[in-house]
Amino acid sequence: MANPAPRAEFSARYFVESSVASEKIAQVIAGEQSSGTFLALPGETDELKERSRARVVRIEPLAPVLQPTLPSAYVDRRPHGGVFHRAEIEIAFPVANVGANLSSLLATVAGNLYELGEVTGLRLLDLDLAPDYAARFAGPAFGVAGTRRLAGVHGRPLIGTIIKPSIGLTPVQTAELVDSLCAAGIDFIKDDELMADPPYAPFDERLRAVMPVLQRHADRLGRMPMYAINISGSVDEMLRRHDAVLAAGGSCVMVSVNWVGFAAVEHLRRHAQLPIHGHRNGWGALTRHPGLGFSFQAYQKLWRMAGVDHLHVNGIRSKFWEPDDSVVASARACLSPWAGLQPLMPVFSSGQWAGLAPDLYGALGAVDLMHLAGGGIIGHPDGIAAGMASMREGWEAAVAGIGLGTYAESHPALRRALVHFGNL
């Protein structure tokens, strides 16, 4: 009899801290997240284990610590040696346990293992799927190439902004701002994540007010500025809103991915005919503590599987907590080939302005990105047109390898931006 084919697997890599030895907690996690439980059961036969139990692939010990990262009543109830063991571990899971079910995959790699009593620190660091398995998920429909095609922008970053003030503008006021931005040559506009369907600016009224403005400028420019209108809501609401944007001639929709959820985004993706702009608000709750949550490397892979086309990565020297090297690494992760799925368009936003272009370009070494500046464009002292011009000029200087000061001598919008924003 021929030997059976090896089972198909996918793997997850973790940082783990525990009151028990790393070898033991790795086996506990593998059992908990597959066929095992806290005691042996008659039904867990050798045959079932061979088919369904996860396996520990490797363990890389790290230096132990004397205090737990996270509290655990379970640990408090039991004597231990006062040492908390740390390691990076990799666990392989049978594909047959999950199938093409993203919710089930998440329950497998990021479910109850976070609640195990022996665990005092846990972070999902990475995922690895074979291309034939990844292809069973939705994946991005547009990604970088499709976004550039729809926006009509090639060979440079898409320069964009956020509707500001974030909330409070009526549909008419929003349309007036969009008109000014389009007149200035903007590539991309997005709603703030706080703006979805408030009673003073309902989604449908905003769409009706904004689309004629975009169409008029599209006729003038030969390309439509991409406007990611926020369709976040229930699944039914998002599908209806997507269809309304499509029917009106729009070219992008935005969702707050963490709050509408993976299954909702995947369902939207399978329905959608427009790029999905993924806003990650709330991401800090999932990643800010280094001993808990998710790395962005794993996070972007999950959203890539769900089918977003753009994903926010923060901004360099921004108003948020994240260091620049982490921001740039996140963008690289979005652009890196993985499992045959299209790369994501990384979106740099938060405290951005023209003077950051050289550092961003130097760190990333690529122009496949969106660079969004709210105040950096709308708050330019000479107005929106000058703000947009300064962003273009900053990137022209960056890509050409010309110092900002030198380039600003013959580019007044950039010169004013350097004076106005340079000390912020």
Q: What is the pLDDT of residues 1-39, one digit of tens each?
A: 455 668 999 999 999 999 999 999 999 999 988 876 545
Report residue 390 as tokens: 């300064």
Kindly state the average pLDDT of the residues 365-373.
Answer: 98
Residue 174: its pLDDT value, please? 98
Taking residues 281-301, what's their average pLDDT?
Answer: 98
The helix (run of H) or strand (run of E) holding residue 229 is strand 226-230
- Band (pLDDT 50/70/90 cuts) for residue 333 is very high
Query: In angstroms, rounded to a whole number, what is the distance separating the alpha carbons of residues 370 and 406?
Result: 25
The number of angstroms, rounded, from the C-alpha of 17 to the middle of its chain's C-alpha atoms is 26
Those residues whose C-beta lies under 8 Å from the C-beta of residue 79, and which sit 6 or more positions away, are none
pTM above 0.75, yes or no: yes
Mean pLDDT score, 33-59: 73
Tokens of residue 381, six digits: 């002292």
Per-residue model confidence (pLDDT) at position 5: 67
User: DSSP class of residue 356?
Assistant: G
Total count of residues recorded for the chain: 424
Residue 301 has pLDDT above 70, yes or no: yes
pLDDT at res. 52: 74
Cα 116 to Cα 49, 66, 98, 113, 300, distances in angstroms: 21, 19, 21, 5, 25
What mean pLDDT is predicted for residues 406-422? 96
Residue 235 DSSP label? H
- Do 105 and 25 contact (CB within 8 A), yes or no? no
Looking up tokens 């950039």 gives: 414
Residue 155 has what pLDDT?
A: 96
Q: Which has more pLDDT, 6 or 288?
A: 288
DSSP symbols for 18-68: ESS-HHHHHHHHHHHTTT--SS--TT--HHHHHHH--EEEEEEEEEEESS-
Q: What would the mean pLDDT of 293-300 be, rounded to a whole number?
A: 99
**What are the pLDDT digits (tens) for 128-145?**
999 999 999 999 999 999
DSSP letter for 81, please.
Answer: -
Question: Does 81 score more than 90 pLDDT?
Answer: no
**pLDDT category, 41, cuts 50, 70, 90?**
low
Mean pLDDT of the region 188-207: 97
Give the model confidence (pLDDT) of 143-184 as tens digits.
999 999 999 999 999 999 999 999 999 999 999 999 999 999
Question: Across residues 54-76, what is the average pLDDT?
Answer: 97
Mean pLDDT in the chain?
A: 95
**In angstroms, how far is CA 294 from the centroid of its own chain?**
12
pLDDT at 45: 65
**Residue 247 pLDDT greater than 60, yes or no:** yes
Cβ contact 68:121 at 8 Å: yes
Cα dihedral sign for 110, 114, 118, 119? positive
Q: What percent of the chain has pLDDT over 90?
A: 91
Q: Which two tokens stand for residue 336?
A: 């890196």
Domains of the chain: 9-134 (3.30.70.150), 143-421 (3.20.20.110)
pLDDT value at residue 1: 44
Q: Is the pLDDT of residue 378 over 80?
A: yes
Quick one: average pLDDT of 274-298? 98
Sign, Cα dihedral of 271, 330, 232, 252: negative
